[in-house]
Structure formats: C-alpha cells, structure tokens
Amino acid sequence: MSPITVVEGRRLSLTNLDKVLYPETGTTKGEVLHYCTTTAGPLLAHLHDRPLSFLRYPDGPDGQRFFTKNVPPGTPSWVTTCEVPHSRSGPTRQVLLQDLPALVWAANLVVELHTPQWTRQAPGVADRLVFDLDPGDPATIVECCTAAQWLHDRLAADGLDVYAKTSGSKGLHLIVPVEPTPSERTTAYARSLAVEAAAALPDLVVHKMTKALRPGKVFIDFSQNAAAKTTAVAYTLRARATPTVSAPVTWDEIAACTDPQQLTFLFDEIEPRCARYGDLLAPLLDPDHARPLPAAASRRPGTARGEPRAGGSYRVRPRP
C-alpha cells in the first residue's frame, strides 16, 4: 500500500517514494517531494492565482514526458481549479496550487510547473513581462549573461525593473513587473526590444526562432508573453539529466559568470540560497514595483553598465 500522509489536514497517498527519478545523481521521488515542501514558501507565492500547466515526467527525464493544461484525472476535490477562456476550444479548467497540500499532491505526480504571465482574475492581462534567453550551441548561459545585461540596461532606460532566474535548462529568464497590460501589448514591446538587441549585438543575439540562425548565439524568445503561452515558474524542478532548478540569481552573479556551472543550481542548493538571499524575486509579488510600459519603444541602448561597441560586442563596466 502507498503511504498516507496528512498535510495540513489533507490526506494524501504518496507513491513510489524510493523510485530513482534522476539516475545521474540517484535522486529519488521522496527527495523531490522533500524539496517541494522545504521550498514551498517562495514556490507557492509565485504560483498563487496562476493557472498551472504541467510537464509530467513520472519515470524521470529519460522516460515519457507529456504536457497538459487540463485538470489531471483523479485530482482531489479540495484542489482549487479555475475556468480559463480559450479562443478556439472554449473555456477549460486548470489547476491552481494555492496551498501546501495541493503542492505536495502535484509533486507526487512528478511535474515541472509552468504559469502564464497573468492571474486568474484577469486572463490575458499581464502583470509580468518575460524574456527567455536561449543559447544555441556552442553558446552557453555565459553568452546569455551578456545579452541579459544589455536588456537590463535597456529596460532601465524605459523605467522598468528587471529580475533574473536561470531557466534550469541552458539559459536565463528575465522577468519585469508591469502594471496590468494586455498580453498583445507586452508581446509587441518585448519583440521590439528583442529586435533592438539583435541590431545592437549582431554577433551575439538573434530574435528569430529559425534554427539556422541560432548556433553560437542567444535567441531572445519574446513569444512567452502571449496570453496562451507559459514559462517555467521560479523554483520548479526541471526534467533534465540532473535535478536542476529554475533559480533566482543576482545581477552580480550574472556579471561575474564565466562558466556555465556558476549558474547551474541543483535542488539541494536552493534552501541555502534562500537562507542567504531570501526570495530574490519577491519584488515581483509587490504591486508597488510594477511600472507601466512606455507608450512606444524608445531606441536607447543600455547605459548603466555598458554600451555596444562597433561590431556588436558588449563591454561590461565594473560596478562602482
């Protein structure tokens, strides 16, 4: 029989806790559930009121993986769900992870957690803007850091704050808190900055998804701002060869990165980082940090820590 655990008054049947999900590190399903409980505070804060999409990998990252937005069969009645409109198929229901029992239930399914840039109160009206920086081999997260610093300064020139986390895969996610804005407009603004970055850093950045353009460069994916798209939430485990996490990072860490391992974080490193830094993405949860998008994208290069050189490289100035 599967062990029964009571979490904040909810009875949960937890299965296969000794099953190895990550053979390279020997990480078991029980350890994955333990990680989710110890990181529940910030993880639940960033999940709150955001409809969930699940990437399920019940047999580990080398097994079958499948993506679903629908409420999984067998979901307990006490797990919160919400209706989400869809222009083509009509409204559907998706899961909301609002408390620890629901998070443990979801973790028992073995999932990556993905959310849109809007909450259930205003579907399609974004309160966050996101850039997904994806390196094409042989480029790595090191090159992403250079592109990220350009975007940081460019966004600052438009009066916007920006926060960063690793994707938990190969790249970086940059997240900007914005006043409620239709997703069509956030997408258009993000696209304009991606195009501008590609023009300023032609040897480093591309803004088109075309695979032939991407080797050795950083693709700035702005499309995740679309209302129907989602992004891996902060602190989620990823279905990779090792139990990496989409981990918040500081801008000093980004500026200092010279090796991909410097910005690769396994699940057992997150609790010490939270103890040291707190939740580096906490400002995203405070409406006072949100700023309006500019009426139109101005064409000002990054100014605070560098500027484009001739030929498209980017010089990073040391912090004072």
User: Given its phi and psi angles, is residue 68 left (phi above 0), alpha (psi -120 to 50 degrees) or beta?
Assistant: beta
> Is residue 228 predicted with pLDDT exceeding 70?
yes
Q: Is the pLDDT of residue 308 over 50?
A: no
Q: Which helix (H) or strand (E) holds 252?
A: helix 251-256
Bridge partner list, 307: 315
Distance separating alpha carbons of residues 253 and 56, to the nearest angstrom? 31
* Residue showing tokens 């993405």: 281
Give me the sheet containing 66-68, strands edge to edge. 66-68, 53-56, 111-115, 231-232
59-95 tens-digit pLDDT: 999 999 999 999 999 999 999 999 998 877 778 999 9
Closest CA to 175 of 248, 271, 278: 248
pLDDT band at 306 (very low <50, low <70, confident <90, very high): very low
- The proportion of the chain whose per-residue pLDDT surpasses 70, expressed as a percent, equals 92
Side chain identity at 134, as an amino acid letter? Answer: D
DSSP state of 37: H
Fold of 4-289: DNA primase, PRIM domain (3.90.920)
CB 30 within 8 Å of CB 226: no
**Which contiguous run of DSSP H or E holds residue 93?**
strand 92-95
Residues of the chain by 3-state class (helix, strand, coil), percent to 5: 30, 25, 45
132 CB neighbour count, 10 Å cutoff: 22
pLDDT at 1: 57
Average pLDDT, the chain: 91
Q: Is the pLDDT of residue 146 over 50?
A: yes
C-alpha 106/C-alpha 56 separation (Å) is 10
pLDDT band per the 50, 70, 90 thresholds, residue 213: confident
Look at residue 317 in the predicted model and tell me its pLDDT.
30
**One-character DSSP codes across 235-304:** T-B-SSSS-BB--EE-HHHHHH--SGGGG--BGGGHHHHHHHH--TTGGGG-GGG-BPPPSS-------S
Q: Give percent of the chain with pLDDT exceeding 90.
A: 86
Are β-strands 125-135 and 231-232 bridged in parallel, bridged antiparallel, or unpaired?
A: unpaired
Domain boundaries, the chain: 4-289
Indicate the DSSP class of residue 54.
E
